Amino acid sequence: MAKEKKKNKHVAHLIRLLIAAAALFFAFKGESLKELINNFSKLSVFVIIAAIALNLAGQFIFVGRWLLLLRTQDVKIKYKQALKLHFLGLFYNNCLPSSVGGDALRAWYVTKHTDKKLEAALSVLVDRIVGMACTFAMIFLAYWLIPAGGSGTHLEFQFDIVSIFIKLVIAGFALIFLAALALFIMFKSRKLRPKLFMYGFIFMMKWKMWSSRFKTAIKLYCSKPLTLLLAVVLSFTCQALPVFGLYLIGRELGIDAHIKYYYVFFPLSWVIGVIPISVGGAGVMELGLKGMFSQVARVTTKQGLGLALAQRIIWLLTSIPGVIIHITGKHLPEEERVEPDSLE
């Protein structure tokens, strides 16, 4: 069983790597690598440092937002330790083909630093929900509220709300049907039936144990609207700073696109990157950004790809602290310094 599980994990990693490679191939298809390198060589050191600094500032604010949510649940963790866990999560998200994402890793390791394990893990979920909500809000607010003037091409998102709602309802019923079908098959199978009862019993016991604490934690967040409002403000700030850094790089690369499109396209690329079909969204995000920016007047596919690569390089650079933390095991309490190999 263990060997089969390990084999399946390696197959999943291989598939994600192949998807990343294929997406990168299509992203670079028709582009001159020499021209891309020449364009990057023209970037001033000041702009590069500014873009990296803005990205790092965003990460520090991100940790402040998470710490705020932890404090709401009376989970006391030092900022320095939360920062280490965050950068470790960045490293896993951006560099490793692990089946465990950075959020899951943060949720796992933050429980090592407190007795309020459920509340600590829940803070990561709330942190992700607040972050994603602000990402979508930034996309729509930037598109509808920031005037582009005479720059670029007017873009329109063509969608029908009623049609989308109907499709979501159909998808929801389809998922419920598939889940019910899977349970029915397990119940009818003599081989799978014991597992169904075993997992059902475990789920019921854990739910009974944790449901009251889960409800209490959710009510606590809802009872502090000012805390959630501050978390939203911090979310917008930590997401806006890296995008502005990329805008500075875009101007240096000679891209004549309004800042509006940066605050639409880059958050969209982050949403695409969340889908776990590639390694850190590699290739998929680059291909998407290249396609989106090339729809704006006076922006070539080469320039769009250059911007996408700039984001990827900055992400990899800001992941370096996570590499050091991973190797040294600084993410764990002093008494529990072990490598996270079992989670990969």
* pLDDT tens, residue by residue, 328-342: 776 665 555 554 444
Residue of 155 and 62 predicted with greater confidence:
62
Which positions ≥6 away from 153 have C-beta within 8 Å? Answer: 295, 296, 297
Q: If you average pLDDT over residues 47-64, what whole number do you get?
A: 94
CA dist list (Å): 40 to 227, 267, 312: 42, 23, 13
Measured between alpha carbons, how far is 229 from 231 in angstroms, rounded to an integer?
Answer: 5
Q: If you average pLDDT over residues 57-77, what whole number do you get?
A: 88
- Inform me whether the pLDDT recorded for 323 exceeds 70: yes
Measured between alpha carbons, how far is 215 from 218 in angstroms, rounded to an integer?
Answer: 5
Which H or E run includes 3? helix 2-28
Instruction: Give the dihedral sign, CA 118/123/125/129.
Output: positive
- CA 160 to chain centroid, in Å, comes to 27
First to last CA, the chain: 17
Q: If you average pLDDT over residues 292-308, what whole number do you get?
A: 82
- Inform me whether the pLDDT recorded for 319 exceeds 80: yes
Residue of 26 and 236 predicted with greater confidence:
236
Phi and psi based region of residue 167 (left: phi greater than 0; alpha: psi -120 to 50; beta: remaining): alpha
- Inform me whether the pLDDT recorded for 66 exceeds 80: yes
pLDDT value of position 61:
95
Residue 99, both tokens = 């089946």
Average pLDDT of the chain?
A: 78
Which positions ≥6 away from 53 have C-beta within 8 Å? Answer: 245
pLDDT value of position 322:
85
- Inform me whether the pLDDT recorded for 185 exceeds 90: no
Instruction: Give the dihedral sign, CA 55/271/83/78.
Output: positive
Residue 124 · residue 103 · CB < 8 Å: yes
